[in-house]
Structures are given as C-alpha cells and as structure tokens.
Chains A and B, each alone.
Chain A
Amino acid sequence: MKIHEYQAKEILRRYQVPVPRGKAAFTADEAYEAARELGGGVVVKAQIHAGGRGKGGGVRLAANAEAARQIASSMLGMRLVTHQTGPEGRIVQRLLIEETLPIERELYLGIVLDRNLGKTVFMASRAGGVEIEEIARESPELILKQIIEPGAGLLAYQARALAFDMGIPAAAVPSAAAAMAALARAYEETDASLAEINPFILTKDGRACALDAKMNFDDNALYRHPEILALRDVNEEDPLEVEAGRYGLNYIKLDGNVGCMVNGAGLAMATMDIIKYAGGNPANFLDVGGGASAEQVKNAFRILLSDPNVKAVLINIFGGILRVDTLATGVVEAARALDVKVPIVLRLEGTNVEKGRRILADSGLNFTVASGMRDAAEKVVALASASVAR
C-alpha cells in the first residue's frame, strides 16, 4: 500500500527522523493558514502517489501566505502528469505546505528487501536528488549498502559508516547517523516494503533532514497496523480495483478490449500473454483466486464488464480441486443476472469438466467453449475484433 508524502513524514516524525515543519492542506484557505503559521517563505507540494512531481509543476515556492493561497488554489484540482502517472495524470486533492530550508547537500537514503539474502538492505548515496535507478545505471559505485540483520536494526557503526562514506562532515555525522537508524526502525516496525528519502539533506547549519519521503507498506502485514491502513487514499486508486479488492479479487485495469477472468496469478499473466500472441489486447488482469465461489465469479463478472472497453470475455479456469460444474453454475447465474451482452469464451479444466460443459451448453446462453489456451485466445480475439468491426 502506498501513502502520501505528508503521511510518511508524520510517521517519520514519530520515530524521530528529522523532517521539515509542515502541514497538510485540502483547501486554499488551509494552505494560507498553514503558511501563516509556518511564517516566511514556504513550499507548496502536491500530494499524489507518484514521483516526479517537481517537473510536472507540482512543487512550487511561495514567498508568503498569500502567495501560498494563490498557488494552492491553482494546484488543487489540477491534473498533474509526471513520468510515473501515465498520460492520464492524477487530480491533485491534497497539498503539503512546508518550511523551506537552506540546503547544503542533497543525499539519498533508501530501504528495500533483498530477496536473495532474505534481509533488509539500507542504501545510501551522495548523489541525492536524482532517481536511484539513474544512479544505479550511471554510477553504481555511488550506492552504498548495509545489510540489516533480522531484529538488530541498523547498527550504530553501520549508520556511521554510511554517513562517513557519503562524505558527510564529521560534525554532522552523529545527527545523520541517528536519523538513518531511526528511519530503519520506522521501516521495520511499520512493516514497510519501501522507504525512500530523496533528497536527504544537510542544511547550511549542519542539520540532517528528510526533505522528501516515500513509504510503501506490505499489504500482507496491514492487519496488524490499523493506523497505517487508515492512511489509505482510495482517490489515488482505480475505483474498479478498489471494488475488486472488497470481494477478495485481484483486478488490474489495462487498456485492451479482451476481458479476462482466471484463477491463479501465474495463469492469469500467461492468459494475458497468449491473448497478445493471438493478436488481441487484454483489458485487465483478474485473478479470482484458488477457491472462487459462485458469488465471487458473479462479482468478478460485474467488475470486468463495467469497463466499457471490454468487447469479449475469456474465462480461463484450471479448476484443480475447484469443481468445474460449480464454476459453470456460477458463470451461468452471473451471465443471466447481469444480462451479459458481450460474447464469452470459456476454457475450463478440472474436476467434473464434462458436467460443467453440459451446464453451459444447456443454459441457452451465448457461450463459446474452447479446448486449450491457444484455441481460447484465438476465439476470444476473433470475437472481440468482430465486435469492434461492427
């Protein structure tokens, strides 16, 4: 799960990671008030779940509270397009109003999981302010790493080593190292899956500070962090994906016209691939899970079809222990209840497959039964393009 910068900074503040003084604002008046309280010049930062905001006009300086109000009113409601949002961009609904700080140096801090080691790795670089992928590509030697041993946190000597190796002046090392250790603690205790401070700055008076903050969290661990779950901003997510999540379905909207419903994530990805090979384009990724019930199939259908681009649907289920007759009954009921108009191709395998096929054939509904994945993909792509041609 992703959260906004201002929310990440609130978490970091609780863990004693130094962050600029600032306040979230949802209206221009709130922005004015926040700027007035902070005093002097401020920075107005659009809060969306994507990076690259500065280049898109989502980070602007305001000389005083009145200017902050002006900027806020032009920023709120604007469509912010960055390299991470895609061409459709995001509507700005929240702002962060922050004090400005005299920057001496910009550094980079990041924490991620190293899958091979099965441990958390703390990364730091003197090349802050640039994207880490760019540093990794152009000067990988500038990325410093310390492995965090499970349960031990970032040890004092590790933080010190990173600070010295980044070239932080000795006088500022203790505060920078303390900030890094605190960041590691915040990451660990909140079950984060990513923490990135870019830039992590040194001010002209030698203070360390997290000027930007990005935190993502492990979805599997949210059950033990209700306070973090409460930070979820569904405005930043696709409404269909949000709805699918409510029914335990894993749905991701894509831009093609062949809707797909599959059980299992790997098979769902492979189904998208084979649709592409057959000359079509998947409209979505949809995993109904291993033990899909009739009710889930119905909800999956409804969500799938509420995408107006969908011209044909492919249902690819390798039943396994899930019985195909149960599934077929669910599909028939759902197609009737939802009065489905688009053609549906079914490829079903598993226990009671014959019984399942009979249920589909006897339903009188317009189903095309396919044998095997290739046949299914070719049939559904042909139906989708025929429908587009009409």
Chain B
Amino acid sequence: MSILIDETTRVIVQGFGRQGAFHAEQCIQYGTRIVGGVTPGKGGTQQLGLPVFDTVAQAVRELQPDASIVFVPPPGAADAILEAIAAGLALVVCITEGIPTRDMIQVRRFLQSGQTRLVGPNCPGVISPGKSKVGIMPGYIHKPPGRNGGVGLVSRSGTLTYEAVGQLTALGIGQSTCIGIGGDPIIGTSFVDAIRLLNEDPETRGIMMIGEIGGNAEEQAAEFIKKHVTKPVAGFIAGQTAPPGRRMGHAGAIISGGAGTAAEKIRAMESAGIQVAKSPADLGETMLRLIGKD
C-alpha cells in the first residue's frame, strides 16, 4: 500500500509539450503508467508514442485514467485543473508555478463540490518509491519502504524535500509516499490532508513534515497530529533566519504582521510531540532516532 498513487495508477499529462514530455518520459522510466495526454489543438497526434487528445473528457473516455499531471503554463493552468475536476479525475497533480491567486480561489471552490483531490500547484508532485512517480522529483534518490514500512513525507518545498529524502535514503530508511504540497498560498492538499492519509496508511511507519515560514498550515497540522496521529512524527521549518515582510521565493513564504514565524511553528509542533530538527542537516537523523532503520 501507499497513498494517492501506486503501480496501477493510470496517468494522463495535461500540457503535453516539450516540458511535459520531458518529465513524462522520466516518469515512464521510473515505472509510472503514463497513458496519454491532453494538449488542446494537438488531438490525434502522438507524444512519446502515446495518444494526445484535445480535451480531458476525450482522454477520459478513451484511456480511463485515474490521475493527471498538469504542466500547463500559468495563464491556462487553473482552467486545466477545472477541466480535470469536471472530467471526474480522482487525482490532479499540478506542477505549474505562478498561477494567480484569484484563479486558485476559483479552483478551490470547484474542488469542494467535486470528487477530485488536487496536489499543488507549484509543487514537485507525488512519488511512491518503487511503484510510481507523478511529479518532477529525481526518482533515483528515493528508496522503497522496507518490510515494516517506510516514512511518509509531506513538504511545502521542492528541493528541500529532495534533501530530506536523500538523507533518509543514505541512512537506510525507505519512503512510503512523498508528497510535495506546494509553496503557494492556496493549495489543494494541505498538511492535515496528507498527514491524515499517511496516518491511515499501513505501509507508513513514521511521518516527516517539512514546513516553512508563512501562513499557519504547520500550526494546524500540529493541532491535528496532537489529536489524531499515533505514528512518530519528525519535522523541520525552513526560514528560521528569514526577515519579516520579505517574500522568500514562494508566494506563501512570508512573515507578515508577526504571524507565520518559524519560532511559532516550531513551538506548536514541539507541543504536539513532533521531533523538530533544528538543522536541515539533521532531517534524516531526527527520523532515524524516532523509528530506527528499515
């Protein structure tokens, strides 16, 4: 078991252009069942030897996918997500960075009435090591979970997630599922959503959450963990030295009006029993101390 995706998940690519095809090829090499794609105006053509459709509805009719991965550029990305929701896909992973907030407000509204789970936007995607990768993360740094299960990882950041995964793998700890939830102010899947799924997943024996400054998603996750999570949780917050009022790359990473500081988040996490790594060099070690090797 893993969460969200496994070796049977059928995936279509929305925005199956040069970038989309590059990453789709990497996914296929990892073992992901990419079954086709959607690029309006390119219906009837092929990409990587796979069929391309004009609309998601057509692709759904012909290919029966479970999930889509979205590479559509920012002006059309929210619309692409809405199209996937309307077509009833169970999972949409949006990689696109730079979608206007107003567009995402609209998406959030439609997510509430549909049956779709959105991961992202502005995220590296989801990987269940050894099974499937629906994202742009380098597959080879991951390690499939051991017999007793692996670590489920949830993070707002891309490369910092790779750092954490690299450290876990180097210490001989496999991962069940790693989810990059994205660095934007409005995202589809929150820390709480991801942690709830990982807590219920029998293959996940420990959880690692990697947050950053801005907003209060980590505080909410801490609250949830305190009440509901039975598995060991390790964590980290990036931006402990970031100055207030400056946006640190991610649109969501800003300390404003004294809220969203790393200190507050760490306090909330520690009071929920989460082992918080002080240094980003200790992400793997902190988890190891909690759960031991595979």
Query: Using a CB–CB distance below 8 Å, which chain A residues touch chain B?
Result: 84, 113, 115-116, 118-120, 132-133, 136, 150-151, 188, 191, 193, 218-221, 223-224, 250, 252, 254, 262-277, 282, 285, 287, 290, 318-321, 349-351, 372-374, 377
CB pair B242 A116 closer than 8 Å: no
The answer to whether A373 touches B280, judged by C-beta atoms less than 8 angstroms apart, is yes
**Given A113-B185, A264-B158, A276-B240, is A318 in contact with B163 using a C-beta cutoff of 8 Å?**
yes
Q: Do A372 and B158 form a contact, CB below 8 Å, given A115-B215, A191-B100, A265-B253?
A: no
How far, in whole Å, are A118 and B216 apart by their CA atoms in the complex? Answer: 13
Task: Output the least CB separation between A327 and chain B (Å).
Answer: 13
Contact of B280 with A250 in the complex, beta carbons under 8 Å: no
Residue interface mask B127-163, A partner, CB < 8 A = 1: 0000000001110110000000000000111111111
Q: Is B232 close to A, CB under 8 A?
A: no
- Complex: how many Å from CA A135 to CA B240? 26
CB distance from B124 to the nearest CB of A (A): 8
* B185:A115 contact, CB within 8 angstroms: yes
Interface positions, chain B 42-95, Cβ under 8 Å from A, are 74-75
Instruction: Find out whether the CB atom of A120 lies under 8 angstroms from the CB atom of B137.
Output: no
* Cross-chain contact A273 with B239 (CB below 8 angstroms): yes
Q: Which of A220, A221, A267, A349 sits near B157, CB closer than 8 Å?
A: A267
Closest Cβ of chain A to B137, distance in Å, is 6
A-B contact pairs, 29 of them (CB 8 A): A115-B215, A115-B217, A116-B216, A116-B220, A118-B109, A133-B257, A150-B105, A219-B251, A220-B99, A252-B246, A252-B248, A264-B157, A266-B155, A266-B157, A266-B161, A267-B280, A269-B249, A269-B253, A270-B239, A274-B279, A274-B281, A277-B279, A290-B158, A290-B159, A318-B166, A349-B162, A373-B280, A374-B279, A377-B281
Provide the bound-state CA to CA distance between A287 and B163, in Å. 15
* Cross-interface CB contact of A285 among B163, B212, B242, cutoff 8 Å: B242
* Interface 1/0 per residue, B266-283 and A, CB below 8 Å: 000000000000111100
Chain B residues whose CB sits within 8 angstroms of the CB of A268 once the complex forms: 248-249
Q: Most chain-A Cβ atoms within 10 A of its Cβ — which of B185, B243, B248, B253?
A: B248
Known: A118-B186, A265-B212, A266-B183. 5 other contacts (CB 8 A): A220-B74, A252-B246, A254-B243, A265-B183, A265-B253
Q: Cβ of A120: which chain B residues have Cβ within 8 Å of it?
A: 105
Closest to B252 in A: A115
List A contacts of B246 (CB < 8 A). Answer: 252, 285
Q: Identify which of residues 92-127 in chain B touch chain A, using a CB-to-CB cut-off of 8 Å.
A: 98-106, 108-109
- B179 CB, min distance to chain A CBs, angstroms: 14
- Decide if A269 touches B248 in the complex (CB within 8 Å): yes
Does B210 make an interface contact (CB < 8 A)? yes
User: Which residues on A sit within 8 Å (CB–CB) of B140?
Assistant: 351
Give chain A residues whose Cβ lies under 8 Å from the Cβ of B288. Answer: none
Question: Does B41 make an interface contact (CB < 8 A)?
Answer: no
Contact A374-B101, Cβ < 8 Å, known A266-B155, A276-B240: no
Verify A118–B160 contact, CB threshold 8 A: no
State A269–B156 Cα separation when bound (angstroms): 12
Instruction: Report whether B241 and A276 are in contact in the complex, using a CB–CB cutoff of 8 Å.
Output: yes
Tell whether, in the assembled complex, residue B248 and residue A221 are in contact, meaning their CB atoms are under 8 Å apart. Answer: no
Q: How far is the CA of A224 from the CA of B98 in the complex (A)?
A: 13
Task: Say whether A221 contacts B102, CB under 8 Å.
Answer: yes
The answer for the CA separation of A260 and B113 in the assembled complex, in Å, is 44
Please name all residues of chain B whose beta carbon is closer than 8 Å to the beta carbon of A276 when the two chains form the complex.
240-241
In the complex, residue of chain A having the shortest beta-carbon distance to the beta carbon of B103:
A221
A273 adjacent to B240 (CB under 8 Å): yes
> Once the chains bind, are B109 and A150 in contact (CB under 8 Å)?
yes
A252 CA to B136 CA in the complex, in Å?
26
